[in-house]
């Protein structure tokens, strides 16, 4: 049961009559500013702390799982990029080899033609 401000004031006045204003003030200072149902106990705080830790542990676990997944995606993407680079390099080297081979063959053929006319 919670009390309203009127009831708090009546209690204070009764304490002033019974104990005097100084002791009434001291006693009223020890009452919570709200109803007792709104005051948290050590057990309430411990329970909420345990729930918070549990939630935090779960969230950190989910975040770690997402980071592992992201790491796998990044690794896979890097492997794909490396394979594409190797493929492009292979094609470039092959084209260079054909170009060099063609140039050597053209030079040899030109050398043979020139040798026949000179």
Answer yes or no: is 9 within a domain. yes
Which residues 6+ apart lie within 8 Å of 38 measured at CB?
Answer: 2, 32
Residue 97 lies in a domain: no
105 lies in some domain:
no
Is 106 inside any structural domain? no
The number of folded domains in the chain is 1
Q: Are 30 and 43 in contact (CB under 8 A)?
A: no
Q: Tell whether pTM > 0.75.
A: no
The domain in which residue 45 lies consists of 5-87
Tell me whether residue 94 is in a domain. Answer: no
Residues 72-114 pLDDT 10s:
999 999 999 999 999 999 999 999 999 999 999 999 999 999 9
> Does residue 75 lie within any of the structural domains?
yes
What is residue 7's three-state secondary structure? helix
How big is the chain, counted in residues?
118
Please state, in angstroms and rounded to a whole number, the distance separating the CA atoms of residues 57 and 62: 9
96 domain residue, yes or no: no
Q: Find tokens 């709200």 and name the residue.
A: 34
């Amino acid at each position: 049961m919670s009390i309203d401000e009127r009831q708090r004031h009546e209690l204070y006045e009764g304490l002033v009559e019974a104990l005097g204003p100084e002791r009434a003030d001291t006693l009223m200072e020890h009452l919570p500013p709200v109803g007792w149902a709104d005051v948290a106990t050590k057990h309430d705080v411990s329970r909420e702390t345990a729930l918070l830790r549990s939630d935090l542990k779960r969230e950190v676990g989910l975040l770690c799982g997402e980071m592992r997944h992201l790491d796998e995606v990044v690794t896979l993407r890097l492997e794909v990029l490396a394979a594409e680079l190797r493929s492009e390099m292979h094609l470039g080297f092959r084209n260079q080899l054909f170009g060099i081979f063609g140039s050597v063959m053209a030079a040899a053929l030109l050398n043979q033609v020139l040798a026949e006319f000179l």
